[in-house]
Amino acid sequence: MSQTATPVTHERFFVVDFGSQYCQLIARRVRELGCYAEIVMPRDLADRIDEAKGVIFSGSPWSAYDDNAPRIDAAVYERGKPILGICYGMQLTTHLLGGEVEHAEAREYGPARIEVVDSESRLFEGLDSELDVWMSHGDRVEKLPDGFLPIAKTHNAPFAAARHESKPIFGVQFHPEVTHTPQGTQILKNFLFGVCQASGDWTMASFIDEAVEKIRSQVGEHDQVICGLSGGVDSTVAGILIHKAIGDRLTCIFVDNGLLRKGEAQQVLSNFRDRYQIELRFADAGERFLASLAGVVDPEEKRKRIGHDFVEVFKAEARSVENAKFLAQGTLYPDVIESQSAFGGASVTIKTHHNVGGLPEELGFELLEPFRDLFKDEVRAIGRELGVPDTFVERQPFPGPGLGVRIAGEVTAEGLAVLRESDAIVREEIERDGHHKGLWQYFAVLAPVKTVGVMGDERTYENVIAVRAVESTDAMTADWADLPRDVLSRISNRIINEVRGVNRVVYDISTKPPSTIEWE
């Protein structure tokens, strides 16, 4: 399958990925300020630097003086482009240009206060003379290279920020991109708009216009596009954007695997068919999936069977679309760089599972991936701009295998019915007063046990529903949400009263690690 890049006719800023966990955050901050940012690998910078209006070097877990540390060609400093080195980015610049970087006796992690010593610096224009910043480094600059001047210091580090006396090269030892550096946004603004003279021409509306043009030129006048819908944000917004570009030459395929949440399939149908009049093939394959899952209790075996069935059903539907040459996917930027990060993936902590991804190459389509350079929250913003209803735009992540991995043990039609009703109550009650804001996921799980209860004067022996609600930023780690007692109490009462076959509700108070978010 071939891949496409997003068209870019506006100013570009490069964020060079030296392996920092904050790399993506830097790019996002730059975009929030109205400038287009793209992440670039160190080895590619020298070839591409002329395309950039300015460059930001990220931090890194490495030391600039390590033999295997990620480097760039020092010639980039001679190309006249503005450069801002953050943490390792500053240390690397120092190291490459003849200064000294050493392991610091007193490491600086967490909050620090810096004192500005150079009132002339454009990077700190309009800022207080002392400011709170967030540090996270074990090395420090001991001696600046020739031609560099200090801008700020802390009591531990003489060079908390520095600049070249005449070239637009800057370095900061702290992290302006994190919210713990309250004036960090102003520093980035000063770099982009003061030093680089950015015009701020990146908006969601301009992205949409360009993406529509690019899709039209890639697809041409006659070919058809297939888009696999999962019901999630990315594929929904991709489908609607592509429809805007090529109208009825788009056919969406939605596979109902019978493992969706209450009302989900109907929502997708009515959004695409009624609201947007988009051609939608609906494969009602629930029974097939259920038959494949009969008697299977091992979670990985369930995933395998669900994945296999999905591909088979999708293939059959896709074959029925004539002249289909392209397959559209809602691939996001984190999916793209996961496979090509500077050091083989360890630097990238955001992990997005693709519900409709993973289709085999043998399908023979060209890929259309309009969001390859974007983050999820940017796709949400595009969705809002396109008028996509909140029910889709704000949807919480939902795993590809769906409720199949939220029934611990064998998946049965009865189990699915109990879980679906319980899950709908969990979502409704948590969303009622906006408690879902700030949560990563919140859902019900059907536990693989029955317990004794008493209803009226009767003994019951019924199912247990577990409620899972977690806070997380990237799903790599998660904490259980401290939901108000009355919300938990309403959930419990309603499930036990309204869902036949449940006599106990428990709240999952496990963090990840050592638990995982899903039970399977």
Q: With respect to ligand XMP, which residue has the nearer C-beta, 216 or 512?
A: 512
CA distance 340 to 321: 33
DSSP state of 261: P
DSSP calls for 131-145: EEEEEEEEEEEEEPP
- Least CB distance to ligand XMP at residue 277 (A): 29
Q: Are residues 108 and 149 in contact, defined by beta-carbon separation less than 8 angstroms?
A: no
d(Cα 289, Cα 310) in Å, to the nearest integer? 8
Residues with Cβ within 8 Å of 406's Cβ and at least 6 positions away in sequence, in order, are 419, 423, 443, 444, 445, 446, 518, 519, 520
Is the omega angle on the peptide bond into residue 82 within 30 degrees of 0, that is, cis?
no
Q: What is the closest distance, in whole angstroms, from the C-beta atom of residue 443 to ligand XMP in the complex? A: 8
| Smallest gap from residue 397 Cβ to ligand XMP (A) | 4
Instruction: Give the torsion through C-alpha atoms of 227, 229, 232, 236, to 10 deg.
Output: 50
C-beta atoms surrounding 67 within 10 Å: 5
Residue with tokens 């730059």: 30
DSSP string spanning 385-406?
HTT--HHHHTPPP--TTGGGGT
Q: Smallest gap, in angstroms, from Cβ of residue 310 to ligand XMP?
A: 11
Active-site residue, from 11, 177, 462, 520: 177
User: Which pairs count as long-range contacts for 265-270, CB under 8 Å and 24+ apart, including other chains?
Assistant: 265/231, 267/231, 267/391, 267/392, 268/229, 268/231, 268/236
Which residue out of 175, 243, 354, 436 is catalytically annotated? 175
Task: Answer whether the bond into residue 370 is a cis peptide, omega within 30°.
Answer: no
- Residue with structure tokens 């695997």? 257
Per CB under 6 A, residues contacting ligand XMP are 303, 353, 355, 397, 399-401, 441, 475, 512, 516-518
Say which of 10, 11, 23, 87 is annotated catalytic.
Answer: 87
Query: From the CB of 114, what's the least distance to ligand XMP, in Å?
Result: 37
Nearest distance from C-beta of residue 423 to ligand XMP, angstroms: 13
Q: Between residues 19 and 400, which has the closer beta carbon with respect to ligand XMP?
A: 400
N-to-C CA span, the chain: 32
Minimal distance, residue 358 CB to ligand XMP, in Å: 9
Strands 36-40 and 12-16: parallel
Nearer of residues 99 and 232 to ligand XMP, judged by Cβ? 232
* Strand arrangement of the beta sheet that strand 279-284 belongs to: 279-284, 250-256, 224-229, 324-328, 366-368
Least separation in angstroms between residue 400's CB and ligand XMP is 3
Tokens read off for 396:
């919480």
Residue 415, CA distances (Å) to 137, 173, 402, 423, 508 in order: 51, 55, 13, 12, 19
Report in angstroms how near the CB of residue 434 gets to ligand XMP at its nearest.
Answer: 21
CA distances from 398 to 55, 401, 406 (A): 36, 9, 11
List the structure tokens of 321.
């679309």
Q: How far is the CB of 286 from ligand XMP (least distance, A)?
A: 18
Cβ-based nearer residue to ligand XMP, 124 or 314: 314
Nearer to ligand XMP, 186 or 355 (CB): 355
Q: Which residue is nearest to ligand XMP (CB)?
A: 353
Half-sphere exposure of 162 (CA within 13 A, CB side): 26
Q: Which is nearer to ligand XMP, 186 or 441 (CB)?
A: 441
- Active-site residue flag, 175: yes
Identify which of residues 156 and 515 has a Cβ nearer to ligand XMP in the complex.
515
Report the distance separating Cα 232 and Cα 276, nearest Å.
Answer: 16
Nearer of residues 131 and 517 to ligand XMP, judged by Cβ: 517
Query: 169-172 and 83-86: which strand pairing?
Result: parallel
Q: Which CB sits closer to ligand XMP, 383 or 400? A: 400
177 is a catalytic site residue: yes
The C-alpha atoms of residue 187 and residue 373 are separated, in whole angstroms, by 24
Q: Which is nearer to ligand XMP, 358 or 364 (CB)?
A: 358
Catalytic residue list: 87, 175, 177
